[in-house]
Structure 1
Amino acid sequence: MLYAYPVDLETNPDGTITASFEGLPGATDGTTREEALREAQDLLVTSLSVYVDDGAEVPVPPAANGRPLVYVPMLEAAKLALHTAMLENKISNVELARRLGVAESSVRRLRDLLHESKIGRVEAALHALGRQTVVQVMEVA
């Protein structure tokens, strides 16, 4: 899945720009459009981490309908994919830890969007669930 969510940008009377995501909690703002978009990426990761922490399904991004997209960073996207694979396969942290030969606390950290894990460890966990990661690099406008 491509973890890219359309962002709503609204210019406030004081000139700041508020960024928010349809169906996700929270909002942030910046003094410029570029700053608002940078802040929106942090907001997006934090908002999606709530679903992971609650053991809930991660919402599918809605149609952009002309709105700019904010991409979840690579590590966090891999962690979201791991969380989704675990839910789909009904695999617990304990079971995945057994398959990987690690402590259950290691799996908890692998699933924590706000923890700086090594991408190779997340890839290994995905592989243990029959998933393959692919990186796509795009030119930035």
Structure 2
Amino acid sequence: MQYAIKLAEADGAFVATCRDLPAFNSVGDTVEEALRESVDAIALVLQSYMDEREPIPTATDKKRGEHWVALPALDVAKVGLYQAMQTKGVRKADLGRMLGMHAPQVDRLLDLAHKSKLEQVEGALAHLGYRVNVSVEPVGVRHAA
């Protein structure tokens, strides 16, 4: 899962914006720092969509001058779990019953700030009829969603 980020220099810093995530903003002293900080900023914005039970915006193609910023595999799996739940009409309480988990445990599976074990998210996805597919590719290549 990647989003195209545009950087603009302002007052000696690099300000990052994302067309697909209007609430997104990030900044860094260098291009590299701005892009690194953008990973956390994307996660924060996606978490807000999840918290508000809103659909996750689809990433559009990168335009000239934009940079791809990819989320870590665990975050992608958690967003995928959220999307699978939305597609299947499964609530957190339903998932908890399926997995034999208490509400706080289910909340952590959907919390992008919590470092769950990937295997736990994979297990939850399997109960919904989904699987995780991990790939390794060169930096800068967009993987189809």
CA contact (8 A) 1:9 1:18 kept: yes
The code of the aligned residue for 1:32 comes to T
1:17 corresponds to which residue?
14
Aligned ranges 1:69-80 → 2 under 5 Å: 69-80=68-79
CA contact (8 A) 1:4 1:72 kept: yes
| Identity within the alignment, % | 35
- Cα root mean square deviation, aligned: 1.2
CA contact (8 A) 1:82 1:111 kept: yes
1:108 corresponds to which residue?
107
TM-score normalised by L of structure 2? 0.90
Structure 2: segments with no counterpart, 5+ residues: 141-145
Three-state SS of the structure 2 residue aligned to 1:6 is: strand
State how far apart, in whole Å, the 2-side matches of 1:81 and 1:73 are: 12
The code of the aligned residue for 1:115 comes to H
Three-state SS of the structure 2 residue aligned to 1:22 is: coil
2:143 corresponds to which residue?
none
State how far apart, in whole Å, the 2-side matches of 1:74 and 1:125 are: 15
How far residue 139 of structure 1 moved from its aligned partner, in angstroms, is: 2.8
2:84 corresponds to which residue?
85
2:44 corresponds to which residue?
46
The code of the aligned residue for 1:138 comes to E
Three-state SS of the structure 1 residue aligned to 2:26 is: strand
Q: Count how many residue pairs are aligned between Structure 1 and Structure 2.
A: 138
Find runs of 4+ consecutive structure 1 residues off by over 2 angstroms.
Answer: none
Structure 1: segments with no counterpart, 5+ residues: none
Deviations 1:92-123 (A, max 9, x none): 11111111111122111101111111111001
1:59 corresponds to which residue?
57
The code of the aligned residue for 1:53 comes to D
How far residue 140 of structure 1 moved from its aligned partner, in angstroms, is: 3.4
How far residue 54 of structure 1 moved from its aligned partner, in angstroms, is: 0.7
State how far apart, in whole Å, the 2-side matches of 1:55 and 1:123 are: 21
